[in-house]
Amino acid sequence: MSTDLCGSWFADLTAAGFDPGLPTARLEEGVLAYLSPSDATAVLDTITATAVPGSTRAKAAMAPPRPDDETYQRMRVFVGASETPSAGVSGVDRENAYRLADQGWSVVFDNHDDLAAKYGRPNPESSAAAASAQYLTATRL
């Protein structure tokens, strides 16, 4: 199934069999940063409006990519982006955690090494970059 995140994606999802009455785990990875801030916020607002208690959201909360990064530019062309990307201002990163909490989510940030250890995946060769990476987990209350 394909859909347009700037269109009727939630209606398309339910038409394909998604049950909005059940708790859902959502991984926000590699898409929202390529949308405009208003489109990314609209997607997140729809998720919040339709998420039942017990639903979760997870996302790496790293520094936004540099707009001049070649890989970032190619991905923006691939996804057909034309507006200024959200690149970290889409309502899911550390500075916006209070927004999620105000919308009824419990928000937790873990660094890379702590999260890996929590799941029994310690990394003896952890780099400074990995150790400083942050991951957001939000649970709908």
pLDDT digits (tens, 9 = 90+) for 10-45: 999 999 999 999 999 998 877 777 777 778 888 888
For residue 15, give Cα distances in angstroms to 18, 22, 32, 57, 79: 7, 15, 22, 22, 23
- Average pLDDT on 107-120 reads 86
54-78 residue pLDDT tens: 999 988 765 555 667 676 667 666 6
For residue 100, is pLDDT > 80?
yes
| Contact present, 34 and 67 (Cβ < 8 Å) | no
Do residues 138 and 110 touch, judged by C-beta distance below 8 A?
Answer: no
pLDDT band at 122 (very low <50, low <70, confident <90, very high): confident
What's the confidence (pLDDT) of residue 25?
Answer: 96
CA 89 to chain centre: 11
* 48 or 95, which is more confident: 48
Instruction: Specify the DSSP class assigned to residue 40.
Output: H
> What is this structure's pTM?
0.71
The C-alpha atoms of residue 80 and residue 43 are separated, in whole angstroms, by: 17
